Amino acid sequence: MSVAARRPRRAMNSPIAYFFVLPALVIFFVFTIAPTLYTAFISLFNWNPLNISQSKFIGLSNYKNAFAGQANPSFWDTAKTSAYFVVAMVVLGPLLALLIALLLQRGGRLMSAARTATFLPNVTPLVATSLVWMWIFNGQFGLANQVLKVFGIGGPNWLESNTWAMPVVIFVSLWHELGFIAIIILGGLTTMSSELSEAAKVDGCNVFQEFIHITLPQLRPVMFFVVVISTISSLQAFTQFYTMTQGNFGTSTLSYEIYYQAFVVYHTGYAAALAIVLLVITAVLSILQFVLNRTRD
Amino acid sequence: MSNNTTRRRSVKLLTAVAALGLVGVTAACGSTGSGGSSGGGGTKAGSNGGGKTTITFMEAMSSGALKPAMQAQVAAFEKKNPNIVVNLEPYADYGTLTAKLKAATSAGDPPTLAQVYSSDAAAFASSKVIMPLDSFPNEASTASTFYKGIQNDLKLSDGKTWMWPFAKSTVIMYYNTAMLKSAGQPVPTTWDQFATVAKAVSTKGVTAISIDPGSSSAPAGGTAWFEILCQANGTPAWTADGKPQFDSPAAVKALTYLVDLKKAGALAIGSNYPGQIALGAQKGAFDISSVASYYYNSAAVGKKFVMGTAALPTGPSGPANQLAGGNVVMFAKASKAQQDAAWKFLSFMTTPAQQAAWSTASGYLPVTSQALPLMSSFLKSHPYQKFAAESLEWAQDTPPYASVSETQGDLALGLQAALGNGKDPAAALKTAQANAMKHMNGAQ
């Protein structure tokens, strides 16, 4: 007992331990911490990326401009667009994935093949599949409208419409992400204790009651994890917007706007300020979710 | 005691490994490696062994006939100049090229030469990372042989020559000859006539013309056509000093013209070269596009019908056209040897013989009329090259100001709002103008 307690303490006191974690720390610092600090530094400047010596210190002006909504689209517009996307992904994603996972829970060869098929979209490169979906939703020549035409419905210009562009991007994002989330939930389902379910059945629980009172509470840690990673990945989503809409027709999210400001119009300082704001939003939302989860516990 | 010994050993071990690591890192930093720069004044390539000078050229000639055409130009130059090596760095499109170029420049590792638009050249010049070309031998005399529109396109607002012509094109009209014939319609020569013909042929699933206005980050051909219409109506989309005038009566008239075509079912908007796709699929009668699209349009059409080409129709203020394609700039960080080698390469590329070879292989226009007699057989099979090249005399590029590319994005959004989402043309252009002025005034 005492030996077991002493070992970790000795390991932590040894300089060799730090030596072993040093490579990981160096990589983390060089590729994550240092760029973040540098981004925060740039956000205080009217930054000229082509000639840094021409950059001027302007304090918090980039942040003031963002919150004053002076850009076009404004920070608040892009934040609303991000919220639209994040809410849709975080609500629909885990919900649909849970349904899929429950369906795939049963064994058998067919289900095994179905699991693979469900996961398959997630291993495809998003940029490539976004291009394919872009053509499927092409207003003039796309498959979607050809199918609708069979039923006598004239489809819209999906990706050139303020009404439809975002729902299409959400649909494609869900198609890509659902498999991954479903597999995580499926993992949670398979590790659950069957004793509670059996006891509930003995006590006369129907399938719905068993799901609500037995399955779902046990799945809470997994669902919490899924919600957190869905929130973070949705806030950072970029590829599908870049490929399918280029931030037009009401799809200019905060992430896309950072790219646009940084790499299209080269307002690097302003883009850095937006990146820091996005970092803070992501951190706050994640912490909030952790706190809420802990409070429930 | 034993603990102390272990700790001392550990510290020694750590120190030794850290020292070794430091030596390794220092050695790595000091080494240029096989792909590093050497003596090139910090640019991507410099003087390599054997007295050869290496220059790097970032460009967007990466697809279709363009890549081999570019490689042939370089091969011909290197044959004539065995002491110079030209390393081509082709990128998929202008957007990618610009992003990569700016990233390389930002990292202090620019190429020797790069293909750019004039608005980007203005940003590079004001950041003092490119150099004017006026001081190079025979610059003025060579430039004087170019078409007037090309000559004007090489200068920035300070009057100095900062760019050299490269892949130049103007916009022409492609059409389905069979479709026009069966509808009993002539090849339109005015924009009013174009509207009449477009409406007449838009039946049985055909939409006469499909355009892509593009996006705020990448305005496309539809926006260029609108800008030409503004010019044809008497007021360009920008003043000569780069101020947007998107809500001028000429601009409102131009957008109303496009919206009317759409309402009549004669115009559709799409993305990814929709005019070319529709023309090839026999779902469109026209494509308004640059001469550089010729090979791509021909491939899309195949043997389905004979594709006609004609000069753009004219407007109330006469003919109007826009220069497309990029110029080349030289980076100031290049060594003197690289600058001289790069200038030799640029001069070589614009000799009449090379221009004839380049135009024949790539489909871009020769920048000097002296090349036309050298490509007579090509002109017989590609008659559009002659009238398109001649339009280089008066065609205009967008004004060379850094703000133009950003305000052009505002314009593209305005066109999308009117053509894609049914907003009133005057209101859409008013919003585009307001947003553009916001960008102009540096509100961000």
Q: Say yes or no: B421 and B275 in one domain.
A: yes
Q: Which of residues B354, B371, B393 is at a domain's end?
A: B393
Q: For residue B145, which of B384, B352, B395 has the smallest C-alpha distance?
A: B352
B186 falls within a domain: yes
Give the distance, in angstroms, between the CA of residue A132 and the centroid of all CA atoms in the same chain: 21
Which among A140, A168, A255 is the top mutation candidate for probing chain B, defined by the most B β-carbons within 10 Å of its own β-carbon? A140
B39 falls within a domain: no
Q: Say yes or no: B261 and B316 in one domain.
A: yes
Give the distance, in angstroms, between the CA of residue B81 and the centroid of all CA atoms in the same chain: 28
What's the pLDDT score for residue A252?
Answer: 92
Q: Say yes or no: B295 and B156 in one domain.
A: no
B5 falls within a domain: no
From B128, B271, B438, residue closest to A72, measured CB to CB: B438
B246 — contact with chain A (CB < 8 Å)?
A: no
Q: Say yes or no: B270 and B177 in one domain.
A: yes
Query: Residue B210 pairs with which residues in a beta bridge?
Result: B268
- Residues written for chain A: 297
Q: Say yes or no: B189 and B128 in one domain.
A: no
Q: Say yes or no: B68 and B85 in one domain.
A: yes
The domain spanning residue B74 has which CATH number?
Answer: 3.40.190.10
pLDDT category of residue A1 using cuts at 50, 70 and 90? very low
Whether B215 sits inside 8 A of A267 (CB atoms) is no
From A65, A246, A263, residue closest to B215, measured CB to CB: A246
What's the pLDDT score for residue A10?
Answer: 64
B274 — contact with chain A (CB < 8 Å)?
A: yes
What's the pLDDT score for residue B47?
Answer: 55
pLDDT category of residue A108 using cuts at 50, 70 and 90? confident
What's the pLDDT score for residue B215?
Answer: 86
B107 — contact with chain A (CB < 8 Å)?
A: no
User: Predicted ipTM?
Assistant: 0.74
Per the model's pLDDT, the better-predicted residue between B59 and A195 turns out to be: B59
From A140, A248, A263, residue closest to B416, measured CB to CB: A248
pLDDT at A3 exceeding the cut of 70: no
From A50, A134, A157, residue closest to B123, measured CB to CB: A50
Q: Say yes or no: B265 and B222 in one domain.
A: yes
B406 — contact with chain A (CB < 8 Å)?
A: yes
Q: Say yes or no: B253 and B378 in one domain.
A: no
From A14, A161, A248, residue closest to B215, measured CB to CB: A248
What's the pLDDT score for residue B424?
Answer: 96
B308 falls within a domain: yes
Q: Say yes or no: B195 and B292 in one domain.
A: yes
B198-205 own/partner pairs: CB under 8 Å, 24+ apart: B198/B261, B198/B264, B198/B266, B198/B267, B198/B285, B198/B286, B199/B261, B199/B264, B199/B265, B199/B266, B201/B266, B201/B285, B202/B264, B202/B265, B202/B266, B202/B285, B205/B283
Number of domains present in the structure of chain B: 2
Q: Assign residue A206 a region: left if phi > 0, alpha if psi is -120 to 50, beta otherwise?
A: beta
What's the pLDDT score for residue B48?
Answer: 55
Give the start-to-end residue ranges of the domains of chain A: 71-296
Residues of A with CB under 8 A from a CB of B: 14-16, 19, 48-52, 54, 65, 70-72, 134, 138-141, 157, 159-162, 245-249, 260-261, 263-267, 270
What's the pLDDT score for residue A144?
Answer: 95
Question: Edge-to-edge strand order for the sheet containing B171-176?
Answer: B267-269, B209-211, B286-290, B171-176, B307-310
Gap between the terminal Cα atoms of chain B: 65
DSSP string, A202-226: HTT--HHHHIIIIIHHHHHHHHHHH
pLDDT category of residue A7 using cuts at 50, 70 and 90? low
Below-50 pLDDT ranges, chain B: 1-7, 9-45, 443-444
B58 falls within a domain: yes
| Inter-chain Cβ pairs, chain A and chain B, closer than 8 A | 103
Average pLDDT, chain A: 89
Q: Say yes or no: B386 and B409 in one domain.
A: no
Domain containing B377: what range? 47-165+325-393
What's the pLDDT score for residue A9?
Answer: 61
* CB A49, CB B102: distance < 8 Å: yes
B189 falls within a domain: yes
pLDDT at A16 exceeding the cut of 90: no
Distance CA B377, CA B383 (A): 10
Judging contacts by C-beta atoms under 8 Å, the chain A residues touching residue B207 are 140
Q: Over the stretch A239-254, which tens digit does the pLDDT of each residue have?
A: 999 999 988 888 999 9
Computed on alpha carbons and rounded to an integer, the radius of gyration of chain A in Å comes to 24
| Strand extents, DSSP E, B266-404 | 267-269, 286-290, 307-310, 327-331
Fold of A71-296: MetI-like fold (1.10.3720)
Give the distance, in angstroms, between the CA of residue A140 and the centroid of all CA atoms in the same chain: 31
